[in-house]
Structure 1
Amino acid sequence: MFLAISKRALLAGSMMLLANLFFSGAALAEQKETLGNWDVHYIAFNSTFITPEIAKHYSIIRSKYNGVINISVLDKADQTAQSAVLTGTARNLLGVSKKLTFKEVSEGEAIYYLAVLPFSDQETFRISVEINDGLEQQVLNFQHKFYVE
């Protein structure tokens, strides 16, 4: 039951972000790190959680073996969206590394970054993302386990 509730919360959270809405403090799926002058919000989820229309719009291939990493970089002081260059890698527990290619998406005042990550069932990744706006450089590190839906 808890797993089903978590999946619904994750789906709702990812759809809100893709629809240019930011997570509220009550969203269970939200993860945030304060890095330097930024609040960095991030989430990883299965690409099957998004609709075919949204996937097509963002050039994401929906597959039970594709994950999506979504990152927003906000100014810590006023919470405005920040433009930056994101580069990253995802390393599984066997040490196999995959390069993450982030695409910047701007919708109104919102800016977020999307990367697709192929995975195997129950594969855990240690994800490292370098965020650089030309003035400041920070590294976001987190871990996520993907499940085939």
Structure 2
Amino acid sequence: MNQSEHEPSWSDYVDVTIVEFATHTAYLDPRTGTGYLVTPDPDLDIPAPDEPFVGGLSLHTADFRRALSHLEEDGWQLLYDDEGKVERAGLTVDGRTVVCLFGAPTAAQPSLETLRRALIALDLAAAVDPTTRHPDDDQPPDATS
């Protein structure tokens, strides 16, 4: 038996970086260049004030723009699907939307196994409800869903 069958090596661990903004939270795995942005509950948004000197953005919109600007400065961007829509990772267990982020991986081309572990770690860190995730392309759909 080899070492990986007995105990994990350092390369088996995923170090998820968490960046908290006012209402959004980013979960990032720099090694693979994969990440999530958890959006807030839309029912908790604070609308823009009616005063012209304050600005015209709600709290969530202003925080979303700030989060994306900060993340972009660090090399992270929203991931878009083939139709130009932001790629969703699913919903958190309390119903908030989770969108996908990507950046340049710090490791050389990560293996599919490394990416799989990163996505599992991101799902756990962001509390993504597994019933709301997109099915894996190589997995047949569950007959019970």
* TM-score category of the 2 structures, normalised to the smaller one: under 0.3
Higher relative contact order (CA 8 A, sep 6+): 2
More strand by proportion, 1 or 2?
1
TM-score w.r.t. length of structure 2 = 0.26
| Structure with more helix by fraction | 2
Bigger Rg, structure 1 or 2: 2
